[in-house]
Every structure is written in structure tokens, then in C-alpha cells.
Amino acid sequence: MTQNPLTPIPPHSAQGTDPGALDRGTYTQLRTARNEARLELDGVWHQISPRYVVSQIVQNLIFIVVVAVIALVLTFVLDQPWALIPGGVIVLITLITLVILPRQARAIGYMLRADDIVFRKGILWQRMIAVPYGRMQLVDITQGPLDRAFGVSQLKMVTAAATTGVQIPGLTQEAAEALRDTLIEVAETRRTGL
């Protein structure tokens, strides 16, 4: 006897499953999104949070300290003076990155249009990507420990084509959740075949 996958399984079926087993011994309430706001498909460029720059500066300064400590330990404790050269180059490149970071952050933006979301980034090498709503397969929000401390998130959209995956860094948690919910809702209404 085959069962329709949409028909609910009775509480005590022939297979002996207990529907209450899924929730027994688990947390009583799942943490949910803070807002239920839906964004308008307004065709206006939206920027990221300035807290993203602060978060990135702190992360890069921690990286510089780690590289400097490793280079100094190799040089003075293990008598490897060559370690100062690659350590110095890495620190210099990271400092240059820190100098241009605020300008790079101001160049990041996204626009919700009627049929797609457009993402732009870059100063010298500018990149602009349009992702049709109907082609989105996954919308994911990611936060590292420092990002959480500064209240910023990264929203990632995955499509069937790997080259059109988009990551929008530096969104506030509220903006990331609202954008995710809007993208999922609009994508469901515009789903297209592959």
C-alpha cells in the first residue's frame, strides 16, 4: 500500500511513529526573526551600515597583531630573520587595505527592482550584478563573532549559475532579515524553470 506524501500520517500508524518524538527533549521555543517588515521594490540604491567598516578594521588589526607576533617569534626566538620580510609585506598590504576600506564600503549598494535585485561594488574595478528573483535558490544570512558584536550581517543569494551568486556584506541584522524575507516572498511569486 502506497501512501500519498501529502496525507498526514496518523498518530499511531502501522510504522509505529510518534509525532511527539520530534519535539520531546528539545528547546521549547525557536528564536525567530525580530521583524516581519517587507521592503518595497522601489528601484532606489540602498547602502550598507558604517558599522561594517569598524568591524573590518578591528578584524584586520587583530590579523596584523597575529602576523607581527608570529614574525617576531620566528625572528627573535627561533633565530629566523627572514620572517620579518613576509611579515612586513603582509602587514603593509593589510594597512593599505585598511586605508581604502571606508571608500570600498561606500561603493557597495543594492537596488530592489521589479524583476531582480541589482548589486554593485568596487572602486577601480566596478562590478554590477543583476539577480532575477525567479532564479534564486537560497538566501542565507551569515554572522561571525565580531560581526555579531557590531550588529552587522552578510546576506548571500545563491542561484543556479555559480557566477551570479551575490554576497552583500555589512547589513544591519534588521535590514538583512527584512531583505531575506522580501527576497524569499518575491522569489516564490516569480519562480521560473531551469
Query: pTM for this one?
Result: 0.72
CATH of 45-189, one of 2.60.40, 1.25.10, 2.30.29, 1.10.3470: 2.30.29
Residue by residue, DSSP assigns the chain as: ----TTSPPPTT-TT---GGGGTTTS-SS----S----------EEEPPTHHHHHHHHHHHHHHHHHHHHHHIIIIIS--GGGHHHHHHHHHHHHHHHHHHHHHHHT-EEEE-SSEEEEEE-SSS-EEEEEEGGGEEEEEEE--HHHHHHTEEEEEEEESSGGG-EEEEEEEHHHHHHHHHHHHHHHHHT----
**How confident is residue 163, by pLDDT bands cut at 50, 70 and 90?**
low
Q: Is the pLDDT of residue 79 over 70?
A: yes
Question: What radius of gyration, in Å, describes the C-alpha atoms of the chain?
Answer: 24
83-133 pLDDT tens trace: 999 999 999 999 999 999 999 999 999 999 988 899 999 888 889 988 888
Among 3-12, 90-99, 140-149, 157-166, which stretch is predicted with the lowest mean pLDDT? 3-12
Enumerate the domain spans of the chain: 45-189
Cell numbers standing for residue 85: 620580510
* pLDDT at residue 15 in the model: 55
Q: Which amino acid, 97?
A: T
